[in-house]
Structure 1
Amino acid sequence: MDVSRNNEESIAHMIEAIKTKLRVASGAAIRPEFFDESKYEDLQDIYELVSGKERFSVSEIDAIVSELGKLRKPQA
C-alpha cells in the first residue's frame, strides 16, 4: 500500500502493520482513530523503521510503543 498520502486509510494500514510486526499484546490501545493526522510524518517514520527490521528486543518494542503514545491525539 502507498502510505505517502496522509489519510485515514494510510494511518490505519501503518498502525495495523506496526502492531502485527511487533506482536503487540495490547493492540486495542493502539487504534488508528487515536492518531492525529498532524503527526503523520512521525508515524510514517516509525512504520518505515518497523517495516525494515526483522526482530526487535523488548526494550526496542517498549521504546516504539512509547513513541506511538506520544503521537496520540490529546484526550478530551
Structure 2
Amino acid sequence: MKLEQATEENLSILINGIADRLNLVNRSIMQPEDYHLDNYNDIKFLYDHIESKGQLSVSEIEAFIQELANFRK
C-alpha cells in the first residue's frame, strides 16, 4: 500500500488504521473528514509509529488520541 502521497483516500486509510490499532470503541471521535490534508505528514508519522509498536499501554493510547486531537479541524 502506497501511503506516501497526501490524498483524502490515504488520509482515510491512516485514520481508520490508527482507530483500529487503538481499539477505539467510539469511532465517531476519529472520522477521516475531521482532519485536514495539510496535517497528512504528521498523521502519517503517528500511523507509522503506532504500526511499529507491539502492545500499546493505556497511557500510550491516550497520548496518541490526544496528539490526533491536535490535528482535528
Q: TM-score range by the shorter chain?
A: over 0.9
- Kindly report structure 1 stretches of 4+ aligned residues shifted beyond 3 Å: none
Q: Normalising by the residue count of structure 2, what TM-score does the alignment of the two structures yield?
A: 0.95
Q: RMSD of aligned C-alpha atoms?
A: 0.7
Match of residue 59 from structure 2: 59
Question: What are the superposed Cα offsets for residues 20-42 of structure 1, whole Å, 9 maximum, x if unpaired?
Answer: 11101221110100000111111
User: What is the CA–CA distance in structure 1 between the aligned matches of 2:72 and 2:58, rounded to whole Å?
Assistant: 21
Greater relative contact order, per chain length (Cα 8 Å cut-off, separation 6+): 2
Q: Normalising by the residue count of structure 1, what TM-score does the alignment of the two structures yield?
A: 0.91
How much does 1:54 deviate?
1.7
Match of residue 37 from structure 1: 37
Q: Which runs of 5+ in 2 are unaligned?
A: none
Q: Which runs of 5+ in 1 are unaligned?
A: none
Say how many residue pairs are matched: 73
Match of residue 9 from structure 2: 9
Q: Percent identity?
A: 30
Match of residue 48 from structure 2: 48
